[in-house]
Structure 1
Amino acid sequence: MSALQSWRKAYGALKDTTTVSLASLNSDFKDLDVAIVKATNHVECPPKDRHLRKIVAASSMARPQADVAYCIHALARRLAKTRSWIVALKTLVVIHRLLRDGEPTFREELLNFTQRVQILQLSNFKDNSSPIAWDYSSWVRTYGLFLEERLQCFRILKYDIEAERLPKQGQGTEKAHSQTRELDSQALLEQMPALQQLLYRLIGCRPEGAANTNYLVQYALALVLKESFKIYCAINDGIINLVDKFFEMPRHDALKALEIYRRAGQQVNL
C-alpha cells in the first residue's frame, strides 16, 4: 500500500470517527445515525449485518412514519455529501437491502421522497482520489440508475417484482408464474415496457475496468443479479399473455404489443 493510499485510509477512518461522535452528541436519532455511518463507512467491505438490522428496525411498520422519513433523509444526506466511492456504494447497498429485506413502509416512503428529491440519480458523482476510483465511480452511477428504475417500475406495477410470490395453478406439476400471466391487455401494455426497461438497467450493470474485479462492487452486483430471475419470469409470462391476446387487440394496441415483442427479441441477444 502506497503512502498516499495509507493517508486516504487513515483520513477516511478519522472522518467516520468524527461523524459518529457528532451523531452521538447532536442527533435526536443518534442510534440510527450511528448505525448508518457505521454501515456506510470508508472501510472497503460490505455493510455489516448488525448495523443493517438496526436500520431495518428503524424503518419498520412498528415505527412512526416520521422515523421512517428521517431514516430516508439520513441516507439521502449521506449519499449527497460524500465524494468517496466506497461510502456512496455502501449507502446504495443499504438502500437496496432495505428495498429487498425491509418492510413496505420504507419503499412507500422512499417513493414519496424521490418524487421531491432524486437521490439515486448520481450523474455528477465522481471520486477523484485516483484513476481507479473513476472506474468505481462509473459503476456507482450505474447502480444508482438501476435502483431508480426499480422504484419507477414499482410505481407503475404497484407491487415489488422481487417480493412477488409466484403462484402455481392447481396442484399438479405446473410451474409457478408471474402476475403478468393473468393481466388484461391494458395492464400488460402498461407494465411490460416498465419491466423491459428495468431489465435493460440490470443488463447495463456490468462493471468495467478496475470495478470488474473489486470485491465490494461484486457484492453489490450479486444483489442486482438476484433480482434477474423474477424479472425474466415476469417478462416471459407477459409475452406469452400478449401472444394469446394479440389478435383480439385494437390496431393501436397491437402496434404497442409488436414494439414489446421487438424489444424482447433484442434483449434475448444481450
Structure 2
Amino acid sequence: MKLWKRAAAAIKDQKSLLAVGFSRRASYRNTDLEAAIIKATSHDDSSVDYSNAQRVYKWIKASPLNLKTLVHALSSRVNHTRSWIVALKSLMLLHGVISCKVPSVVGEIRRLPFDLSDFSDGHSSLSRTWGFNIFVRAYFAFLNSYSSFTADQISRTRANLRSDKVDSVKQQLDRIQKLQSLLDLILQIRPIADNMKRALILEAMDCIVLESINIYGRICSGIIKILPAAGKTDAARSLKIVNKATSQGEDLAMYFEFCKGFGVSNARDTPQFVTIPMAEVEAMEKMVKSVEKDEQKQEEEVVEKAIVLLEKPRLQTIITDKWQTFEDDEYCFSEKAIQEYHQDPLPLVVSNQPVCYTMPDLITF
C-alpha cells in the first residue's frame, strides 16, 4: 500500500511538471523556478529536496521579479493539494524565503499567499492524519504572523532611515511584545500524535527550533537595550515584559526537552541565552513601586478634597424662654380680630382627609 501511494504521489508530481512545461508563457512566470518549486514540495515524505530549495532561494535573491512566480506557483500548488506533505513542505520553503533577509522580497510578502488555517489531509482517514493537520495549522498560524511582522519591521526601518529617526521607547516595547506573541505561537508547533515520528516532521522541527532560539534571543536583547531607557511612564509595561520573558524562558527550556526526547537534532544541546541583568530588573521594580505610591497618594488627595466639598454645616438647636412674635400672630390674637370672628364665625370643617394647598406659581408670568 505504501509503495502504491508513493507511486501515485510521484505520478502527480510528474503531471505537475508536465503542466508547467506546456503552460502559457507570461511575463510573471519563470518555468525553471516553477519546476524547482514543484520538486522542492513533492509528495515524498521520506526526505526534503534541499538542492531544489536552494535553487528557489537563488532565483529569489537574483531578482525580486521572481517573487511573483513564487507566489503564483506556491499558492496554486497549496490550494489544489490535500496532502499534508505538500502543505508542510510549502510552509518550510516559504519560511526559508522569509528568512533570506532580502528586504525587497520579504517586505512584499506580508501575509502568506494561501490559507491553511483549517487544513485537513484528504488522502487518509482522520484517525491517522489529525496530528499532521494540527501541526500544519499551527505552523501556518506562526508563519503568517511572522511574515507580517517582518514586513512591518522592514517598512519601519526604511521610514526611519529616510527621516533620520530612531524608534521611541513605546515602539521598541511594542516590537518586543510582538516577538513574545510570535514565540507563544511557535511553541505550539509540536508533534502530538504517536505516528508523527517521520523524517519530514523532524526536518520541520529542526527549522522551528532554530527559529525559536532566534526569536527569544531578539526578545532578551531588546529588553536589555530598553531597560535603561525606560522611564516611569513605561516602568509597569517594561516589568510586565520582563516577567513574561522569564516565563517564556522556562517554557522554551521545556520545549527543548520535548524536542530532544522526540529526536530533533537541533535540540540536543540547550542554548545559553543572554541573561537579563537583575540590577536593571530590581531598579525597574523600585520605579514601579514608586509610581504606584505616587498614584495612590494622588487618589487619596482627590478623595480628601471630595469629602471636604461634600461636608454640610451642622444644624444647631437654640433653647430660649422668649417668644418670637410675628405680625400675623399679633393680628390673630388681637381683641379686634376676636370680635370680628364672633360677629361672622367661619364654618368648622372636620375631615379625616389631609388638607392640600396649591402652591402659587412664582415662575410663569
TM-score, normalising length: structure 1: 0.77
What is the deviation of 1:191? 0.7
Of the three residues 141, 144, 148, the one matched with 2:137 is 141
Question: Which consecutive residues of structure 1, in runs of 5 or more, have no partner in the other structure?
Answer: 160-181
Does residue 264 (structure 1) correspond to residue 245 (structure 2)? The answer is yes
**1:71-124 CA-partner distances (Å, limit 9, x unpaired):** 12211221121100111111111111222246333312212xx2xxx5454121
Q: Matched residue of 1:125: which SS?
A: coil
Distance 2:109 2:240 in 1: 31
Cα RMSD, aligned residues only: 2.4
What corresponds to 1:232 in structure 2? 216
Distance 1:46 1:249 in 2: 54
Identity of paired residues, percent?
29
Check whether the contact 1:35–1:51 (CA below 8 A) recurs between aligned residues.
yes
Q: 1:183 to 1:207 in 2, by over 3 A?
A: farther
Of the three residues 157, 175, 195, the one matched with 2:179 is 195
Higher relative contact order (CA 8 A, sep 6+): 1
Distance 1:200 1:64 in 2: 31
What corresponds to 1:107 in structure 2? 106
**1:119-164 CA-partner distances (Å, limit 9, x unpaired):** 45412101131332221121111111221122133134338xxxxx
Check whether the contact 1:58–1:71 (CA below 8 A) recurs between aligned residues.
no
Check whether the contact 2:135–2:189 (CA below 8 A) recurs between aligned residues.
yes
What corresponds to 1:245 in structure 2? 229
What corresponds to 1:167 in structure 2? none
Distance 1:119 1:139 in 2: 19
What is the deviation of 1:211? 5.9
Of the three residues 1, 13, 20, the one matched with 2:17 is 20
> Residues 108-257 of structure 1: matches in 2 within 5 Å?
108-111=107-110, 114=111, 118-119=112-113, 121-128=115-122, 129-130=124-125, 131-158=127-154, 184-210=168-194, 212-246=196-230, 248-250=231-233, 253-257=234-238
Look up the equivalent residue of 1:191 and give its one-letter code.
R
Distance 1:230 1:8 in 2: 37
Q: Matched residue of 2:99: which SS?
A: helix
What is the deviation of 1:256? 2.7
What is the deviation of 1:216? 0.4
Task: Count the aligned residue pairs.
Answer: 235
Check whether the contact 2:57–2:97 (CA below 8 A) recurs between aligned residues.
yes
Check whether the contact 1:120–1:144 (CA below 8 A) recurs between aligned residues.
no
Distance 2:3 2:14 in 1: 17
Q: 1:193 to 1:241 in 2, by over 3 A?
A: same
What is the deviation of 1:64? 5.5
TM-score, normalising length: structure 2: 0.59
Q: Matched residue of 2:194: which SS?
A: helix
